[in-house]
Amino acid sequence: MEAVKSWRSDWRYPTTLLCIYGFFSTVKPLEPFLIPYLTGPDKNLTTEQVNNQIFPVWTYSYLSVLVPVFLLTDWLRYKPVVVFQCVMLFITTAMILWTKTVPAMQAMQFFYGVVTASEVAYFSYIYSVVDLKRYRKATSYSRSVQLLGYTVGSVLGQLLVSFDLMSYNNIMVFTLVLTGIALLSSCLLPMPEQSMFFHRRHTRQKTATEATKSNRDGTVDATEHISRVKTSSEEMRDERVDISRETEEVAVKGQDEKVPKAVDFEESVGAEGCSQVLLQLWRDFCQCYSSRQLLYWSLWWAMATCGYNQTVNYVQVLWEHVQPSQNFSIYNGGVEAVSNLLSAATSYGIGFTEVRWEKWGELALGGFSGLGAAALFLMTSINNIWVCYTSYVIFKCLYMLLITIAMYQIAADLTMERYALVFGANNFGALVLQTIITSVVVDSGGLGLAIIPQFTIYSSYFSVIAVLFSLRGLLAKKGTITLVKLIHV
């Protein structure tokens, strides 16, 4: 029993459970073959229905629930939202398997939008249950296991379809079983005691109490904790006042009264009003985006993520248009697996490059975005499935390369709370852009364009990004050279 208790109290226990959940929730063997499945004899939907009526619902639902889910995730302390995400994923998979009509598939896309919005709980949970010194390892494990799940799912789907080992319906039943395993592991996750925003003061209360005890020995100052937190001067003054009051309270009270006081304080903090949190988030938001460099990197993040999501969401429709034969659609899983592995290798390799991204980053954003635009243009102009496959792999690797650089540059000078805020704001901006493009270009209520004109627009979109950031990089570099000359003069 002692060994079990020790294991459950160790940081590896929640990390292992979260990794199990991340793996089984991302193994989706049928995902690379979703379009052939929906447009085939099993569902008998048309390509136009899938492209212009069903898929756009995901974008709208994702946007509508993103902010409420983000706030609820922190308020409920992550685990309930992780479990809820898996329940929604189970419902989504079941609806794909057992429904056939367009309205039912649109409802399925709504639930999948909720699943996607809830991913913030998966990526935030680990920071509330492990020590700061374990962040890097825990983050590496939880993120890499998701990529492994996507890759295993793609390879598994490729094998099952290529060797005709399972029908599409049976693959969906198998996916339901995997999702059930993920749901079980999510229920076993320990409940965090704190969160980044709503319950963040819980830790500071403990720190104040411990600091008071240490002061009796003359070893630690009660305000030492505050000096370690990267906040504005106004916030630091407020926190000093709060902690000094708490310290005086604890020092005056006897040993018997000290514990009840701590419990009462923790409960009141847990019930902190949403308005206070929103006000603090707004202040942090304004302070973060007052940095021009962070603003430029975030602008690229939002614009490029919008184009990337549109491309990934509709690329199977393009493949089906270029080569409708079932003999070629069976290679979709292999292409997804290769793109995931090469993208992971590209992102990993960035960590070993000695490049001053703060100096050359904007030129890199412009240049590589231009290559991505060229890859998309090849997909639409050359009617060859192998060119489409190759161009897709190149495009995905380029995006993963640049988004890794952007994440690193943005996170370099931010606290964990502010990074979560910027990460959410950038993705929200991307989703707003994506909603506009979907409603105008894709949705049957808008232009309802066919797949080739759609990808022509996506190619032009990335060309605009390339021009904007290339010009910005050149102007910034020219200004730096001029400044250096003036200094020398």
Complete DSSP assignment for 148-209:
HHHHHHHHHHHHHHHTT-S-HHHHHHHHHHHHHHHHHHHHTSPPPS--SSTTTHHHHHHHHH
CATH fold for the domain made of 1-190: Growth Hormone; Chain: A; (1.20.1250)
Please give the span between the terminal C-alpha atoms of the chain, in angstroms, as a whole number: 75
pLDDT of residue 478: 58
**Number of other CB atoms surrounding residue 398 within 10 Å:** 24
**pLDDT digit string (tens) for the chain, length 489 residues:** 666 566 566 788 898 999 999 999 999 999 999 998 999 899 999 999 999 999 999 999 999 999 899 888 888 988 999 999 999 999 999 999 999 999 999 999 999 999 999 998 888 888 778 877 777 677 778 878 888 899 999 999 999 998 889 999 999 999 999 999 999 999 999 998 877 777 664 444 444 344 444 444 443 443 343 344 344 444 444 444 444 444 444 444 444 444 444 444 444 344 456 788 788 888 888 988 988 888 999 999 999 999 999 999 999 999 988 876 555 556 899 999 999 888 888 877 776 777 676 777 788 899 999 999 999 999 999 888 899 999 999 999 999 989 888 887 887 777 767 777 888 899 899 999 999 999 999 999 899 999 999 999 999 999 999 999 999 888 866 555 454 444 554
CA distance 467 to 455: 18
Residue spans in the chain of domains classed CATH 1.20.1250.20 = 1-190, 277-488
CB 49 within 8 A of CB 317: no
**Angle value at C-alpha 285, between 281 and 286, nearest 5 degrees:** 125
pLDDT tens for each residue of 178-193: 999 999 999 999 998 8
CB-based contact 31:153 (threshold 8 Å): yes
The closest alpha carbon to 192, from 417, 18, 67, belongs to 18
DSSP conformational letter for 23: H
What pLDDT score does 198 carry? 76
Tokens of 479: 């200004």
Question: Which pLDDT does position 311 carry in this prediction?
Answer: 96
**Could you give the C-alpha distances from 364 to 116, 263, 298, 300, 351, in angstroms and in order?**
29, 52, 15, 11, 16
Q: By three-state DSSP, how is residue 317 classified?
A: helix
What is the per-residue pLDDT for 5?
65
Task: To the nearest 10°, report the CA torsion of 405, 408, 413, 415.
Answer: 140
Look-up of token digits 């010194």: 133
Which pTM does this prediction carry? Answer: 0.78
Reference 342, options 405, 392, 297, 301; nearest CA is 392
State pLDDT tens for residues 344-396: 888 777 767 776 767 777 888 999 999 999 999 999 998 888 999 999 999 99
Give pLDDT tens digits for 362-373. Answer: 888 999 999 999
Dump the DSSP string for 250-289.
Answer: HHHS-HHHHHHHHHHHHHHHHT--HHHHHHHHHHHHHHHT
55-75 vs 274-288: helix axis angle to the nearest 10? 110
Helix (H) or strand (E) holding 446: none
Topology given in CATH for the domain delimited by 277-488:
Growth Hormone; Chain: A; (1.20.1250)
| Predicted local confidence at residue 255, as pLDDT | 43
pLDDT at 129: 82
pLDDT of residue 480: 52
